[in-house]
Amino acid sequence: MVRYHASSRGSIPMILEGLLTIQTEDDGVHTAAMGPEVSDTRSINQLILKPFQSSRTSDLLSALPEGVFHLTDNVLLFAQAVTGTLSHDLRIRPADTVRGWILEDVCEAFEFRIEKSDTSHDRSKLYATIQKAHSVRPFRGFNRASHAVIEAAILFSRIQFLGGEHIQQHLELLRPLVTKTAGKQEQQAFELIVNKTLNASNAMS
């Protein structure tokens, strides 16, 4: 899913929603939803990653400035990544040119290495260059429910800033799209986010 944001300079950076994998200190895999800026989706050569400096993702990239960015039509992976419920037997394989891991249930994967960084704000700007691209399987497309799940996942990832009640209200606005157009996977993904939001809201109150 691509989102567009007008910058202060009048240009329109393209934000491409996907999944990031980074190697952990014990050679395991850390997976996070991430929307890096790209200049052209027809030829992805560079990424600008913008993790919050307080995040685990930021800490890992500071220690090991490389990893793999993935594009997928499996929205359940997004929901599981943001809610911390990814399976321990997630299918992965080692990357070819960087220390990291490639998810197997994706459409494309991009091995990257960070060349420079700007940590002067709460969200870092990490400028990464693609080392190798992989075409894993065809993209099956999104329907309206898929987009709703992606938006729900983004909302959930900001629950500490927006608050549980605010997110619950927005989830209910998205629910009709899921009810009308979702398949089993999209329904499962959306309900996972709804339930995790409710649990987090109760814990915060």
Compute the radius of gyration of the chain from its Cα atoms: 17
Picking from 11, 125, 149, the residue whose alpha carbon sits closest to that of residue 72 is 149
Digit-coded pLDDT (tens) for 16-62:
999 999 999 999 999 999 999 998 778 899 999 999 999 999 999 99
Regions of the chain where pLDDT drops below 50 = 1-10
pLDDT of residue 30: 95
Q: Give 123's contacts (C-beta < 8 A, 6+ positions apart).
A: 50, 51, 52, 53
pLDDT of residue 117: 95
pLDDT of residue 11: 56
pLDDT of residue 113: 98
> What fold does the segment set 2-135 form as a domain?
Pnp Oxidase; Chain A (2.30.110)
pLDDT of residue 2: 45
